[in-house]
Amino acid sequence: MEKINARLGVNIDHVATLRQARGESYPSVVEAANICLNHGADQITIHLREDRRHIQDTDVEAIRLVTKKFGKPLNFEIGVNPEIIDIAIATAPDWICVVPEKREEKTTEGGLDLKNETTFKKVQEACALLKSKIPGLKISLFVEGDEEILKLSKQIECDAVEIHTGDFARAHLNGEDTNPFLEQFKKSLNLCSELGLAHHAGHGLTAESVKPLVAENLFVEYNIGHWIICQAVFEGLAKVIQNLKVEIQG
């Protein structure tokens, strides 16, 4: 099996979480983005939530400037809120990842429920608008690796799906059997190949839980955030990124 040269996307939301906890100007998300891209990250991911719990409006353009400087993509996670969509259009990122969003959740709890007709229509209309307003934009949809969901994703103007790996990551962390998840990811990979959709991964992943995914060549992109920022407390952000990049590229 030929090894996939997978990309590492680093989500720096939780650098902003630390900053917002005290309302200070530090730690700097701009410095975090610079360090990540200087030490092997292939793109920066940020999520501008409706409640602005971490990333703020002013962060978006500042981080966009950093990614432009490095010639690397900004992957902008958004819900289908009209205000957020307007900010996305003004920012013109390289990638937009459309995600579900509930104000009461601690973090994104699962993929888009495209089986719900209202949700499907909202996402479809948002993606069409974004594509019409941002030249060259690529869109991924944050979804579960479910056959019907993946086929519905193909009906929307998107380029990739980002498979929700949160349940797999938690099972791995708890020492549970992860083989059912790996089998599901293999099926979603095969279906995405047939549908012409790129197969990305994200949510809850660590340096350890990413290993079996990399070993099986399951994804072309891994978006990892919370674990990276946590581990950086002990090892430093640069070292964590360097080590993780080696892990992902084998």
Q: Chunk the chain into consecutive blocks of 10 residues (it has 250) and report each block's average pLDDT, rounded to whole numbers.
A: 85 98 97 98 97 96 98 97 97 97 60 95 97 98 97 96 97 97 98 98 97 97 98 98 92
pLDDT at 213: 97
Give the whole-angstrom CA distance, residue 163 versus residue 122. 20
Distance CA 219, CA 227 (A): 19
**Beta-strand pair 7-11/221-224:** parallel
Query: What tokens were used for 4?
Result: 């996939």
Name the residue type at position 234.
Answer: F
3 state SS of 36: helix
pTM of the model: 0.95
Task: Tell me what pLDDT residue 110 has.
Answer: 80
The pLDDT value given to residue 4: 78
Which of 14, 39, 47, 200 is flagged as catalytic?
Answer: 47
Architecture of domain 7-249: Alpha-Beta Barrel (3.20)
Contact 226, 10 (CB under 8 A): no
Reported as a single tens digit per residue, the pLDDT across 139-150 is 999 999 999 999
Among 77, 144, 162, 221, which one carries the catalytic annotation?
A: 77
Q: Which of 139, 80, 142 is nearest to 110 (CA)?
A: 142
Q: Is 77 a catalytic residue?
A: yes
Q: Which among 39, 199, 200, 203 is annotated as catalytic?
A: 203
- The answer to whether 162 is a known catalytic residue is no
Element (H, E) at 47: strand 43-47
Please confirm, yes or no, whether 47 is among the known catalytic residues.
yes
